[in-house]
Structure 1
Amino acid sequence: MAFAEGMGLRERKKLQTAMRIYRTAVALFDEKGFDAVSVQEIADASEVSKMTVFNYFGTKEDLVFKPMENHFSDPARAVRDRKPGESAVDAVRRQFLEMIDGRDPSIGLNAEPFARRIRSVIMATPVLRDRAYVSAEKGALELAGLLTEETGDRTLALIAASTLTHVRQALVEEHHLRIDAGESVDEVAADAAERAERAFALVAGGLSGYAVRQA
C-alpha cells in the first residue's frame, strides 16, 4: 500500500485513510487479540464509520491480509515475467534474491516493528493462520496453472509449483524464526542470499531444464 507516483489528491487521501485503518486494526489485534476486537472498535479508533472500514476492507480478516495477499502470487509473477532462456526455478530464485537485496517485508526482512506485529497477530490467531495456508496454496495453484499452460503437463506443473513455493516459504520462515529468536534483521540478511542459493540448488538439478522460456 505504498504511495504511488502521480497519484491525485483524492487518491492519496483514500490511501492514507486505508493505511490508518490498517495500522490501527493491527495494533488493536496485537494488543487485545483478533477475536476480542470488533470492527466498530477499529472504526472508532480510526475516526471513521464502520461502513468505511468495510468499504476499504471487505472482511475483518482482510484488515490483516488484504495489503499483503498479493505477495502470495510473487512466484507466479516471477515465472510469468521471466526472460527468454530463463527456467522457472531460475526466475523464482532471481526474484527472491532481489527481494533479499531490497529487504522486502514480505519475506521477513524488515526491521520495522509494525511488520513484526502483523506476524505476531497471524501466528496467534488460528483463523488467520488457516487463511495464510490457503493463500499460499492458491499462490502455488496459480503458478501450477501458468506452468500447465506452457508445458501441457499438469502433473509436473503441480510438482514444480509446489516445490518452488515451499522452498520460498521455508526460507521466509527461517528469517522470521531467527528474528523472533533475537537476531537482528541485518544478521539474518547477511547470509540470506547464501542460504537461498543453497535452497534453490537443491531443486535446480531436477527443475533447471523445466519450463525454459523460448526466445
Structure 2
Amino acid sequence: MNEQTGLRARKKERTHRAISDAAITLFLELGYDRVSVADVAAAAEVSKPTLFRYFPSKEDLVLHRFADHQGEAARVVRERAPGEPPLTALHRHFRTGLKERDPVTGLNDHPEVLAFHGLVYSTPALEARLARFGAQDQDALAEALREAVAVEPYDLAPRLAATQLVAVHQVLARENWRKIVAGRTADEVHPEAVSDADRAFGLLGEGLGSVLSALRAG
C-alpha cells in the first residue's frame, strides 16, 4: 500500500467512524425513530449520498457494530483444534467471550455498551434486522457443521443444530445484559453467566440427541 492509498483508507475510516458516532449519539439522546438519516448526515457533516455509501440503511448505522461477529460461529467450527468436536469448540469460544467481557456475550457493564444494547433491544426495526443477521449466521454455521461431519447435502442435522446454537447464544447474551441492567456488575454476574452457558450447551447437546450425536463425536 502506497502513502496515497493509505491516506485514503484512513480518511474513509475517519468518515465511517464520524457517521457512526453521530448516529449512535443522536439515537441514544432522541430515540431511534425520532432521528432521520438526514439528521445523522447533518450531525456528521456529510451529505446523504455520502452517508449511504458507508451505510446502506438506517439500521446499518447501528448494527454495523455486529459486523465483526458475522460468521464467527462458522469460523470457530472451521478453525477448531484437530479432534475437537464442533459443539465443544463453540462452548469454549463462548466462555472465552465471557471471560474477556466481549459485548456480544451481553456480559459487559460499560455504560456505552449497556446503552447500545438497550437501544437495539428496545427498537423493533433493529431487532428485526438483528434477526436477519442471526439467520445469516445460522446458514453459515450449518454449512460449517455440514463440512465438519461430512453428511449428505439433504441431511437436516447441521441446520437444526445451527438454529439451536445461534438461539442459545442470543438467549444467554440477553439474559446477561438483563442482569447487569438490573444493577449488578459484570464481575458479579460472571460466575452465573458461565454456569448458565455450561447448562445451556449441556442441555443443547442432550436435547437434540441423535441430531447432535455426530457433532459431539466430531
Give the TM-score, by structure 2 length: 0.85
Indicate the residue corresponding to 2:201 in structure 1: 200
* Aligned residue type for 2:183: G
Structure 2: distance between partners of 1:117 and 1:16: 23
1:15–1:51: structure 2 CA closer, same or farther, 3 Å change rule?
same
Whether the aligned pair in 2 keeps the contact of 1:89 and 1:208 (CA below 8 Å) is no
Indicate the residue corresponding to 2:56 in structure 1: 58
Instruction: Give the C-alpha shift of residue 170 in structure 1.
Output: 1.5
Structure 2: distance between partners of 1:67 and 1:98: 20
Q: CA RMSD in A?
A: 2.1
Indicate the residue corresponding to 1:164 in structure 2: 165
Indicate the residue corresponding to 2:145 in structure 1: 147
- Structure 2: runs of 5 or more not aligned: none
Greater fraction of residues in helix: 2
* Aligned residue type for 2:64: K
Structure 1: distance between partners of 2:110 and 2:50: 27
Whether the aligned pair in 1 keeps the contact of 2:109 and 2:180 (CA below 8 Å) is no
Structure 1: distance between partners of 2:35 and 2:100: 34
Indicate the residue corresponding to 2:45 in structure 1: 47
Pick which of 25-34 and 199-208 moved more: 199-208
Whether the aligned pair in 1 keeps the contact of 2:108 and 2:177 (CA below 8 Å) is no
Indicate the residue corresponding to 1:36 in structure 2: 34
Runs of 4 or more above 6 Å deviation: none
Equivalenced residue count is: 207
Indicate the residue corresponding to 1:3 in structure 2: none
What does 1:20-99 align with in structure 2 at a 5 Å threshold?
Answer: 20-99=18-97
Please give the per-residue CA displacement for 1:75-106, whole angstroms capped at 9, x wherever unaligned. Answer: 11211211211111011111111111211111
The answer to whether the aligner puts 1:108 opposite 2:106 as a matched pair is yes
Structure 1: distance between partners of 2:192 and 2:118: 24
Give the TM-score, by structure 1 length: 0.86
Indicate the residue corresponding to 2:189 in structure 1: 188
User: Quick one: which of 118, 137, 141 aligns to 2:135?
Assistant: 137
Instruction: Give the C-alpha shift of residue 209 in structure 1.
Output: 4.4
Structure 2: distance between partners of 1:92 and 1:189: 18
- Structure 1: runs of 5 or more not aligned: 1-6
Pick which of 179-188 and 111-120 moved more: 111-120
